[in-house]
Structure 1
Amino acid sequence: MITAVTTFKLPKPITREEARSIFLSTAPIYRGIEGLFRKTYVLSEDGLTAGGIYFWSSRVEAEALYTDAWRARAREKYGADPIVTYFESPVVVDNLAQQIVADD
């Protein structure tokens, strides 16, 4: 499993309400994407950094999302270029499902 963290250094701070509105406008795009089982939107306390934490089945599936078109859409929404960082996630604790998931 892979966790991808995206961050955007915003040109000016945004409020939680502004971020929520932006996040809700893009959330439907991520429904049904192959290999993506969860995305969490994030906003720093100072409102200067926004981003997402994506939980993927594989890196190949993750990389399929972060295309030039995705980057252009993100740049248009946030006024900043995204940074994508990948992490191996060999074990996940899911308290909602009450399970521990380990990759093969």
Structure 2
Amino acid sequence: MIGVLVTFAQTEKFDRSTIARIADELRVPFEGMAGLRFKSFMLDEDGLRARNFYVWDDEEKARAFFTQEIVEKVTGVYGVPPRIEFLDIVGFVDNSGT
């Protein structure tokens, strides 16, 4: 498994309702996406960084998703370019089935 942390940082606070709307509008294309286990839309405490976290089955699928076209699209959605970090998931706890 591989995690991908996508961070959108700006000097002005993101509006929580705007991030919630983005999450709602962009949810459907990710539902049932091959290779994607989880995706979350997040906003940090100070509101200066919106973050998306993905868990993928493998690195190849994760890297294939983040094309230049996708980067340009999300830059338009969030208003700032993302920082994309690929993270090796060495352990995972899933309590969703309990």
TM over 0.5: yes
Structure 2 unaligned blocks of 5 or more: none
Q: Residue 28 of structure 1 aligns to a residue in which SS?
A: helix
Question: What's the counterpart of residue 17 of structure 1?
Answer: 17
Separation in structure 2 between the aligned mates of residue 11 and residue 19 of structure 1, nearest angstrom: 16
Question: What's the counterpart of residue 45 of structure 1?
Answer: 45
Return the index of the structure with the highest Cα Rg.
1
Q: Residue 91 of structure 1 aligns to a residue in which SS?
A: coil
Question: What's the counterpart of residue 79 of structure 2?
Answer: 79
Q: Indicate whether 1:59 and 2:59 are aligned.
A: yes
The structure with the greater share of residues assigned to strand is 1
Separation in structure 2 between the aligned mates of residue 96 and residue 31 of structure 1, nearest angstrom: 16
Q: Residue 51 of structure 1 aligns to a residue in which SS?
A: strand
Question: Which 4+ runs in 1 deviate beyond 6 A?
Answer: none
- Aligned residue-pair number: 98
Separation in structure 2 between the aligned mates of residue 75 and residue 30 of structure 1, nearest angstrom: 18
Q: Quote the RMSD (CA, aligned, Å).
A: 1.3
Task: With the length of structure 2 as denominator, give the TM-score of the two structures.
Answer: 0.90
Q: Residue 93 of structure 2 aligns to a residue in which SS?
A: strand
The one-letter amino acid paired with 2:23 is: F
Task: With the length of structure 1 as denominator, give the TM-score of the two structures.
Answer: 0.85
- Residue deviations 1:31-83, cap 9 Å, x none? 22221010011111222111211001101000111011110110101111111
Question: What's the counterpart of residue 102 of structure 1?
Answer: none
Question: What's the counterpart of residue 70 of structure 2?
Answer: 70
